[in-house]
């Protein structure tokens, strides 16, 4: 066993309030159009459960630069809203007047005074983050989409044959790892980035080898898209976003000692967040177990789709409960109530956990670190 680093933990489930910062750069002459679109959006978002307040600010140094800040009771209601079809439709009017955007999300750790609620208003649910978490300088994100049934083998061949893009994006941003998996006709692409995630995604989308792969996939997608149309491409990738909601790593193993796996969980209608929260709690507990083969795990969730990427030392089925995130009978029974699998999918025994692990495992297509990329030909 090799001790590499301190424990790393990132989570949307710590119960603290969330501050969202949206940076916008407007097209010349689009100010009035933007203000009208924002006013409509502001009215709609005010009724979203979990929303507390928002502010619209304009730069005093560059009037084309704007800032929208919003506060939410906790992170999960914001993530549910920002990844909803309602949000996709709500922000459509902004696209024609905004040149560039960047979204930042922060847990509230400390504050001065009672700024969360004014006099005479109801107290705001959600508190302060109990303690700062230790990060590792890596941003984790995933995309998921489905392909037409019967085309899975063709899609897997396309996805496995692409040439990795240049890892270095700019002096501050670098692609670290890309992992591709399939489960039936569902594709999941998980990426790790050091630096600016948005800059990295834009960099990747501009690479000829990646564009060729994306174009080759188009005929097989269940959701139509036109990558030459900015709005069509934006809508597709917005709907495909699979945000990270929890990451845990105890730093016990060297990368060469572990293998990456992905598990797919289909939650019952409306139970996706509860399922992801259950797995996150288990991962925090397992990180304290010095005998666990789980070197690290990352949970991605959107609506009722939950994907857990797990780095495991040794055989994946040696400790199926820990690898699944349900170590212990109580957690297994809770998971069974949240899964959309019926009696055949209920992993409440050791044998059931092993069977469920096998059914949940996604097929690995590619798993490439930046160091795996061969040098470009001159």
Mean pLDDT lowest for which of 3-12, 101-110, 344-353? 344-353
Residues 114-138: tens digit of each pLDDT:
554 444 445 566 788 888 888 889 9
Does residue 251 share a domain with residue 209? no
Host domain of residue 296: 245-364
Alpha helices per DSSP H over the chain = 31-45, 75-82, 85-90, 92-95, 152-160, 197-205, 208-217, 230-240, 272-286, 320-324, 329-338, 350-360
- CATH code at 223? 3.30.70.100
Of 53, 109, 45, which Cα lies nearest the Cα of 80?
45
- Beta bridge partner(s), residue 258: 313
CB 160 within 8 Å of CB 365 = yes
Q: Tell me, what's the pLDDT at 347?
A: 65
Residues 324-336: tens digit of each pLDDT:
888 777 888 888 8
Quote the CA–CA distance of 356 and 159 in Å, as a whole number. 26
Final residue of a structural domain among 243, 273, 288: 243
Domain count, the chain: 3
Residue at 181 is within a domain: yes
Looking up tokens 């957690």 gives 331
Of 6, 279, 228, which Cα lies nearest the Cα of 136?
6
**Beta strands 18-26 and 258-266, pairing class:** unpaired
Quote the CA–CA distance of 192 and 177 in Å, as a whole number. 5
Q: Tell me, what's the pLDDT at 23?
A: 96
CB 18 within 8 Å of CB 75 = yes
Helix (H, G, I), strand (E, B) or coil at 331: helix
Final residue of a structural domain among 107, 130, 159: 107
Residue at 370 is within a domain: no
Does residue 265 share a domain with residue 239? no
Share of the chain above pLDDT 90, in %: 54
Torsion angle (degrees, nearest 10) of CA 103, 247, 337, 355: 130
Token pair in block for residue 363: 């097929």
Token pair in block for residue 11: 């989570």
Residue at 270 is within a domain: yes
pLDDT confidence bin for 5, thresholds 50/70/90:
low
Quote the CA–CA distance of 13 and 245 in Å, as a whole number. 7
Residue at 6 is within a domain: no
Residue 268 class from Cβ within 10 Å (0-12 exposed, 13-18 middle, 19+ buried)? middle
Q: Tell me, what's the pLDDT at 117?
A: 47
């Amino acid at each position: 066993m090799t001790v590499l680093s301190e424990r790393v933990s990132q989570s949307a489930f710590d119960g603290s309030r969330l501050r969202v910062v949206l940076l916008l750069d407007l097209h010349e002459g689009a100010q009035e159009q933007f203000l009208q679109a924002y006013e409509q959006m502001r009215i709609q978002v005010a009724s979203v459960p979990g929303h507390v307040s928002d502010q619209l600010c304009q730069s005093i140094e560059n009037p084309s630069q704007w800032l929208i800040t919003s506060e939410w009771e906790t992170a999960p209601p914001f993530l549910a809203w920002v990844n909803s079809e309602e949000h996709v439709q709500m922000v459509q009017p902004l696209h024609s007047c905004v040149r560039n955007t960047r979204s930042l999300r922060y847990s509230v750790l400390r504050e001065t005074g009672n700024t969360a609620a004014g006099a005479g208003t109801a107290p705001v649910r959600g508190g302060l983050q109990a303690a700062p978490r230790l990060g590792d300088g890596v941003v984790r994100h995933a995309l998921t989409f489905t392909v037409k049934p019967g085309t899975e083998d063709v899609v897997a061949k396309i996805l496995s044959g692409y040439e990795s893009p240049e890892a270095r994006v700019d002096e501050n941003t670098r692609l670290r790892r890309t992992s591709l998996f399939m489960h039936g006709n569902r594709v999941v692409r998980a990426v790790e980035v050091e630096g600016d995630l948005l800059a990295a995604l834009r960099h990747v989308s501009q690479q000829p080898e990646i564009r060729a792969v994306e174009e080759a996939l188009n005929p097989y997608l269940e959701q139509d898209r036109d990558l030459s149309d900015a709005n069509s491409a934006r809508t597709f990738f917005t709907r495909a976003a699979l945000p990270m909601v929890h990451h845990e790593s105890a730093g016990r193993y060297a990368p060469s000692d572990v293998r990456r796996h992905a598990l797919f969980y289909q939650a019952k209608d409306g139970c996706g967040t509860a399922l992801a929260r259950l797995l996150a709690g288990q991962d925090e507990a397992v990180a304290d177990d010095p005998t666990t083969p789980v070197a690290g795990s990352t949970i991605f969730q959107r609506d009722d789709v939950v994907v857990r990427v797990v780095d495991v030392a040794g055989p994946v089925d040696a400790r199926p409960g820990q690898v699944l995130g349900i170590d212990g009978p109580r957690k297994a029974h809770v998971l069974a109530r949240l899964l959309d699998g019926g009696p055949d999918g209920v992993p409440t025994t050791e044998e059931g956990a092993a069977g469920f692990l096998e059914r949940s495992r996604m097929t690995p297509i590619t798993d490439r670190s930046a160091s795996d990329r061969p040098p470009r030909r001159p």
